[in-house]
């Protein structure tokens, strides 16, 4: 096992990794920007190094600065968390070239899965199929028209090197194709520096279901159940739950087996997530995230597995301590992402937290990096923590989450807690099985009713 690990991240995920390392007796190295000098991860780590700067570009995603700290600190491994360098193959290569372990998949696997077209081809090679679509770069709007005439409109044009809904345009008719392609290309170039796009059939009421997996360097790979992440706004997840409700067990098992095929097909090692769209009893491969997910706690609660500990052990060369037959799913867990933002306008709300009271009680877990007096900086993601509720049933998990959110108090800034409370009372959400369009439609209806 490693003796010292550097965490190339900030916020609640940096705190989460530090605590996992402590459990294993591993020393930790934190890095921080000028704005994060008083951050919790800096306080908890055994060593902390200033990167300087305020923005992410000036600090957390300056590879030269991170590599300099690795060498000065003598860290044997680097955990990238999520975001920043977590899915950057060039960074992973630079780490491994130093003889330092990257706690994640190898650079080649990141490359394959980082390009949406090559990822789709890799999945199809092992018999896992996505929504009908193209596997070539889209350059001619007429191909969109031809595809729509064959498979039906609407058609989604997507950025080949992007995500999060950036560079995606939905074409409802042949007349919209040319303008939509040009718009998607412009947006893709603006956000990702590349304008390549592809297309696929646009599902009208899909659910976003993902499979958590873990693979070791000995060729073992297991899946740890499913998560439903359909409660999204503009492709950004707000509420996640595990396991995915209302889907027959045989389909959930088939998703898990398909995810393992995809991972083994690209020689994947460490934790990863294979995402699917589910509609009308069928599921379609969407993409693979080659990192730990924000929503990993719900999987931990229903399986009893510590995913970060497993990441560390696998990266150190250990074999998985269990097989697929040993994995059991018990109960239900729900996670609410708590963001520093206006709950209904969705504008950021940086500032100093004047009072903070986290929730507690049976089945409640809080992963956060904030404290009373902490200043939420304006330059990073607005996520300030996650509240996770576990219950023997989905109904109990929802009840516990409602109680937890009513207890939680964050003063000095705005948070999206009221939005979560609203969603957890909505009959459609409580029933389960809402599509990825549900929240957008709900918010649009509320805006219409308010005039």
Residue that terminates a domain, selected from 201, 226, 248: 201
- CA dist 323 and 222 (Å) reads 7
Least confident interval from 147-156, 220-229, 294-303, 395-404: 147-156
- CA dist 212 and 223 (Å) reads 6
158 and 293 both lie in a single domain: no
pLDDT at residue 199, rounded to an integer: 94
397 and 288 both lie in a single domain: yes
For the record, the structure tokens of 155 come out as: 């058609």
- CA dist 131 and 65 (Å) reads 41
For residue 145, what is the domain's CATH number? 3.30.1490.20
Residues 6+ apart with CB under 8 A from 43: none
Using the Cα atoms of residue 400, residue 401, residue 405 and residue 408 in order, give the sign of their dihedral. Answer: positive
Is residue 70 in some structural domain?
Answer: yes
Residue 161's pLDDT band, with cuts at 50, 70 and 90, is confident
152 and 238 both lie in a single domain: no
295 and 311 both lie in a single domain: yes
pLDDT at residue 417, rounded to an integer: 97
280 and 298 both lie in a single domain: yes
63 and 211 both lie in a single domain: no
214 and 196 both lie in a single domain: no
- pLDDT higher than 70, residue 164: no
50, β-bridge pairs: 32
Query: Judging by beta carbons within 10 Å of its beta carbon (0-12, 13-18, 19+), is residue 293 exposed, middle or buried?
Result: buried
Is residue 97 in some structural domain?
Answer: no
* Residue-number span of the structural domain to which 231 is assigned: 207-450
For residue 212, what is the domain's CATH number? 3.30.470.20
The model's pLDDT over 259-314, given as tens digits with 9 standing for 90+, comes to 999 999 999 999 999 999 999 899 999 999 999 999 999 999 999 999 999 999 99
- CA dist 350 and 376 (Å) reads 5
Quote the DSSP letter at residue 326: G
Q: Give percent above pLDDT 90 in the chain.
A: 87
Is residue 68 in some structural domain?
Answer: yes
For residue 50, what is the domain's CATH number? 3.40.50.20
Residue of 330, 279, 296 whose CA lies nearest to 212: 296
Residue that terminates a domain, selected from 62, 92, 122: 92
401 and 324 both lie in a single domain: yes
Is residue 31 in some structural domain?
Answer: yes
- CA dist 14 and 364 (Å) reads 20
Alpha helices in 244-393 (DSSP H): 249-265, 296-303, 307-315
How long, in residues, is the chain?
451
53 and 194 both lie in a single domain: no
Is residue 412 in some structural domain?
Answer: yes
The model's pLDDT over 232-268, given as tens digits with 9 standing for 90+, comes to 998 889 999 999 999 999 999 999 999 999 999 999 9
The verdict on whether 291 is a catalytic residue reads yes
Number of domains into which the chain is organized: 3
Residue that terminates a domain, selected from 201, 222, 240: 201
Is residue 442 in some structural domain?
Answer: yes
Least confident interval from 63-72, 93-102, 437-446: 437-446
Regarding beta strands 169-171 and 197-201, do their DSSP bridges make them parallel or antiparallel, or are they unpaired? unpaired
Q: How many C-beta atoms lie closer than 10 Å to residue 281's C-beta?
A: 8
Is-contact 297 388, C-beta < 8 A? yes
Using the Cα atoms of residue 160, residue 162, residue 164 and residue 170 in order, give the sign of their dihedral. Answer: negative
76 and 149 both lie in a single domain: no
- CA dist 62 and 409 (Å) reads 35
Is residue 117 in some structural domain?
Answer: no
Is-contact 112 122, C-beta < 8 A? yes
- Span 337-346, average pLDDT: 93
Is residue 122 in some structural domain?
Answer: no
300 and 191 both lie in a single domain: no
Find the catalytic residue in 120, 291, 337, 400.
291
Rounded mean pLDDT of the chain? 95
pLDDT at residue 306, rounded to an integer: 98
Three-state DSSP class for residue 76 = coil
189 and 246 both lie in a single domain: no
- CA dist 171 and 156 (Å) reads 6
């Amino acid at each position: 096992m490693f003796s010292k690990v550097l965490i190339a991240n900030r916020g609640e995920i940096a705190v989460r990794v530090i605590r996992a390392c402590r459990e294993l007796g591993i020393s930790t190295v934190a890095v921080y920007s000028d704005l994060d000098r008083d951050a919790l991860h800096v306080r908890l780590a055994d060593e902390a190094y200033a990167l300087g700067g305020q923005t992410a570009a000036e600090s957390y995603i300056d590879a030269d600065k991170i590599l300099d700290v690795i060498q000065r600190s003598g860290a044997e491994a680097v955990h990238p968390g999520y975001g920043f360098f977590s899915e950057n193959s060039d960074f992973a290569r630079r780490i491994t070239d130093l003889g330092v372990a990257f706690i994640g998949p190898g650079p080649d696997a990141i490359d394959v899965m980082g390009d949406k077209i090559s990822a789709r081809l890799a999945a199809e090679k092992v018999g896992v199929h996505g929504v009908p679509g193209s596997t070539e770069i889209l350059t001619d709007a007429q191909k969109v028209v031809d595809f729509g005439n064959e498979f039906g409109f609407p058609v989604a044009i997507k950025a080949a090197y992007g995500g999060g809904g950036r560079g995606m345009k939905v074409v409802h008719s042949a007349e919209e194709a040319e303008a939509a392609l040009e718009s998607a290309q412009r947006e893709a170039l603006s956000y990702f520096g590349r304008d390549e796009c592809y297309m696929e059939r646009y599902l009208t009421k899909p659910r976003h279901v993902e499979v958590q997996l873990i693979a070791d360097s000995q060729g073992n790979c297991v899946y740890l159940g499913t998560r439903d992440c359909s409660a999204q706004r503009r492709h950004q997840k707000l509420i996640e739950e595990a396991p995915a409700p209302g889907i027959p067990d045989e389909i959930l098992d088939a998703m898990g087996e398909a995810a393992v095929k995809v991972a083994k097909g690209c020689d994947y090692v460490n934790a990863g997530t294979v995402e699917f769209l589910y509609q009308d009893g069928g599921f379609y491969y969407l993409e693979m995230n080659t990192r730990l997910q924000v929503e990993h706690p719900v999987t931990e609660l229903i399986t009893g597995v510590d995913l970060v500990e497993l990441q560390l052990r696998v990266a150190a060369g250990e074999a998985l301590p269990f097989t697929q037959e040993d994995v059991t799913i018990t109960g239900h867990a729900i996670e609410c992402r708590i963001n520093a933002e206006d709950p209904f306008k969705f504008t950021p709300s940086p500032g100093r937290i004047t009072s903070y009271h986290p929730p507690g009680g049976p089945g409640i877990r809080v992963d956060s990096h904030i404290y009373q007096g902490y200043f939420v900086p304006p330059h990073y993601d607005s996520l300030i923590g996650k509240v996770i509720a576990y219950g023997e049933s989905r109904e109990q998990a929802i009840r516990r989450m409602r109680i937890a959110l009513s207890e939680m108090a964050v003063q000095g800034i705005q948070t999206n807690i009221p939005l979560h409370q609203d969603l957890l009372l909505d009959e459609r959400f409580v029933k389960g099985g809402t599509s990825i369009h549900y929240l957008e439609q709900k918010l649009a209806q509320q805006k219409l009713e308010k005039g």
